[in-house]
Amino acid sequence: MATPHEPKQDRSRATRQRLLEATIDCLAETGWAAATVAVVAERAGVSRGAAQHHFPTREDLITAALEYMFETRMAQSKSEALALGEVAEGAGRTQAVVASLVESYTTPLFKAALQVWTHAAADPALRERIVPMEARFGRISHRMAVEALGVDDTDPVTHHLVQATLDLARGLGLADVLTDDSLRRKEIVQQWANTLHSALHAPR
């Protein structure tokens, strides 16, 4: 939160971040169409004038929110991978990695991203902006998963099983959008982690 003693530049940066976080919450909860500068400003507790100073148009806001979303997802992915490094190696580590990966696809951040992807499916200009970011995010997620699992990604079986785990996580994220799918998801995660662990460590 901004305080009266905070330098002006820091206050401005804090306001900008509040607006971007409010954009994510709006997208996740009220959907693409409702995430306008006016609605986001109100949610962030920022005056409309101040919001428009940061983001003159809705497109400016959405573009900045997209970058913020990708940076946040990458930072979270890296910090989760780091935390997983402290779990003892073995089947327990694999369980923790799969669970952590899957949970990252059930957050408001994923739900906001889903709104953007779905809108971008019918908006070529938006799609052009998102595709390189998604490709970069995909590569980083994959690398983080490989490191956390402690496996050799040059092995094609390993490479494809890690990819499949990310695809499964995306599918489980989508299954959680309309209803709370957490109970079913927990069982799927447990089973897949067991199967994945055996497959990754099978002799070949």
Q: Enumerate binding residues for its own copies (CB under 8 A).
A: 29-34, 111, 114-115, 117-123, 127, 130-131, 134, 157, 160-161, 163-164, 166-175, 177-179, 184, 187-188, 190-192, 195-196, 198-199
- Packed helices 108-120 and 58-84: angle between N→C axes, nearest 10 degrees: 130
Least Cβ distance, residue 15 to its own copies (angstroms):
26
Least Cβ distance, residue 111 to its own copies (angstroms):
7
Least Cβ distance, residue 35 to its own copies (angstroms):
10
Q: What is the DSSP string of 132-157?
A: HHHHHHHHHHHHHHHHHHT--TTSHH
Nearer to its own copies, 70 or 192 (CB): 192
Write out the two tokens for 58. Answer: 């809705």
Shortest CA distance to 111 belongs to which of 41, 37, 179, 194?
A: 179
Nearer to its own copies, 2 or 157 (CB): 157
d(CA 190, CA 168): 13
Shortest CA distance to 97 belongs to which of 106, 86, 111?
A: 86
Nearer to its own copies, 10 or 167 (CB): 167
Nearer to its own copies, 62 or 114 (CB): 114
Least Cβ distance, residue 189 to its own copies (angstroms):
9
